[in-house]
């Protein structure tokens, strides 16, 4: 485990990448996200030995958005087993944008992978729970367990706002309902999904989740197996092949870390034998990834040789 990175280094590098915050755009499709401050930056590293360092505005909270696709996948695998999950969602990366629908028209019509929206919606649909709130409650308990922090909840304003405007996700859900990939109420699945996406954390909490995946699914303090090792591995695999939207391939080459990004401007990376890294910087590039997040992870990877390849 490489532990030469110091708080001072993190602070210095965060300043170095700060100017890039002006190269992108804060997500603006809902008011709550558009109000994010592009200058609010934070980074945290949680080592698998349990220690951690951080820099920037570590009190700042943000919604996890697409990063929850990894967490819900882990829970759906634990709820349903690998065979059931992959009967309903594929394993292959795709060169398409996350919102793409046309692939579903090709047979078999199941979503190509759990990181594009169609796939993530079908994963949320698989999480056990009779109601949206029960599903979300179970997801939150799972997050509480991973972070050892029972205060984490979801941002109701963000959830409500996304729910109201999620026409494309409704389109994807109805398309999958037509093809029996999902069943039951579209509105209920969407309710669970938008609440899931609105789960709110800060970078120290997020880095700890990344570290748990890096620690083969075991709790960092107690060593308890929270996610079976094989399922943690599946999640990290998807983080490599399709974690960064349709920039996953270039991210794998330039940075080489299993990582997942969200349109709130957050990124969670997870490195076996090292730990978890979380970055927050709400300014996004045209693919929907945090500009500052990409820069900082690239610097860290190159300087400390962190690529898994």
Judge whether 162 is annotated as a binding position: yes
Cα 193–Cα 44–Cα 281 angle in degrees, nearest 5: 60
Q: Could you confirm whether 263 is annotated as catalytic?
A: yes
Active site residue 193: yes
Catalytic-labelled residue, pool 20, 47, 245, 280: 245
Distance CA 158, CA 200 (A): 10
Compute the least distance from the CB of residue 242 to a copy of itself, in Å: 8
Q: How near is the Cβ of 301 to a copy of itself at its closest, in Å?
A: 10
Find, among 199, 203, 195, 271, the residue nearest to 232 by Cα: 271
Closer of 16 and 183 to a copy of itself (Cβ): 183
* HSE, side-chain direction, 13 A CA sphere, residue 292: 31
65 versus 248: smaller Cβ distance to a copy of itself: 248
The answer to whether residue 69 is catalytic is: yes
Please, are residues 154 and 140 in contact by the beta-carbon 8 Å criterion?
yes
Tell me: is residue 66 an annotated ligand-binding position.
yes
Q: Which of 26, 43, 52, 69 is catalytic?
A: 69
Nearer to a copy of itself, 144 or 170 (CB): 170
DSSP tag of 283: E
Q: Which residue of the set 20, 47, 154, 193 is catalytic?
A: 193
Of the two residues 101 and 152, which places its CB atom closer to a copy of itself in the complex?
101
> Is 161 marked within a binding site?
no
What is the enclosing helix (H) or strand (E) of 203?
Answer: helix 203-214
Q: Which residues bind a copy of itself (CB under 8 A)?
A: 90-96, 100-105, 112-113, 167-168, 170-175, 177-178, 186, 233-234, 236-238, 240-242, 246-250, 252-253, 256, 258, 272, 307-309
Q: How far is the CB of 12 from a copy of itself (least distance, A)?
A: 24
Question: 3-state secondary structure string, 216-269?
Answer: CCECCCCCCECCCHHHHHHHHHHHHHHCCHHHHHHHHHHCCCCEEEECCCEEEE
User: Is 245 assigned a catalytic role?
Assistant: yes
Element of type H or E holding 63 = strand 62-63
Instruction: Work out how close the CB of 246 gets to a copy of itself at its nearest, in angstroms, rounded to a whole number.
Output: 6
By CB atoms closer than 10 A (0-12, 13-18, 19+), residue 162 is buried
What minimum distance in Å lies between the beta carbon of 264 and a copy of itself?
20
Annotated ligand binding at 155? The verdict is no
Burial group, residue 254, by CB count within 10 angstroms (0-12, 13-18, 19+): middle
Closer residue to a copy of itself in complex, CB, 64/172: 172
Q: Which long-range contacts (C-beta less than 8 Å, at least 24 apart) are formed by 183-187?
A: 183/125, 184/125
221 phi/psi in degrees, rounded to 5: -95, -55
* Least distance in angstroms from the C-beta of 190 to a copy of itself: 10
The smaller minimum CB distance to a copy of itself, of residues 112 and 198, is found at 112
Q: Would you please indicate which residues are annotated as catalytic (active-site) residues?
A: 66, 69, 193, 245, 263
- Binding site for substrate, by residue number, is 66, 117, 162, 169, 193, 245, 263
| Residues contributing to the annotated binding site | 66, 117, 162, 169, 193, 245, 263
């Amino acid at each position: 485990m490489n532990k030469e990175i110091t708080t001072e280094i993190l602070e210095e590098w965060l300043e170095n990448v700060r100017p890039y915050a002006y190269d992108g755009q804060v997500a603006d499709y809902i008011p709550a996200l558009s109000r994010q401050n592009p200058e609010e930056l934070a980074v945290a590293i949680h080592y698998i030995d349990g220690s951690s360092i951080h820099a920037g505005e570590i009190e700042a909270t943000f919604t996890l958005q697409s990063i929850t696709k990894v967490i819900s996948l882990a829970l759906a695998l634990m709820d349903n087993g690998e065979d059931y999950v992959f009967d309903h969602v594929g394993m292959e990366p795709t060169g398409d944008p996350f919102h793409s629908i046309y692939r579903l028209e090709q047979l078999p019509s199941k979503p190509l992978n759990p990181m594009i929206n169609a796939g993530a919606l079908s994963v949320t649909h698989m999480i056990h729970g009779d109601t949206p709130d029960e599903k979300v409650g179970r997801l939150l308990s799972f997050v509480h367990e991973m972070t050892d922090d029972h205060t984490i909840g979801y941002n109701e304003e963000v959830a409500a706002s996304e729910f109201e405007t999620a026409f494309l996700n409704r389109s994807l859900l109805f398309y999958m309902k037509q093809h029996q990939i999902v069943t039951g109420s579209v509105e209920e699945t969407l309710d669970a999904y938008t609440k899931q996406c609105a789960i709110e954390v800060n970078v120290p909490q997020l880095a700890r989740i990344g570290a748990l995946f890096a620690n083969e699914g075991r709790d960092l303090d107690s060593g308890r197996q929270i996610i079976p090792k094989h399922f943690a591995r599946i999640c990290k695999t998807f983080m490599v092949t399709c974690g960064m939207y349709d920039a996953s391939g270039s991210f794998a080459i330039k940075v080489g870390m299993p990582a997942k990004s969200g349109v709130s401007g957050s990124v969670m990376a997870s490195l076996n034998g090292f730990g978890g890294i979380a970055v927050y910087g709400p300014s996004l590039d045209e693919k929907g990834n945090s500009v500052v997040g990409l820069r900082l992870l690239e610097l860290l990877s190159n300087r400390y040789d962190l690529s898994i390849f």
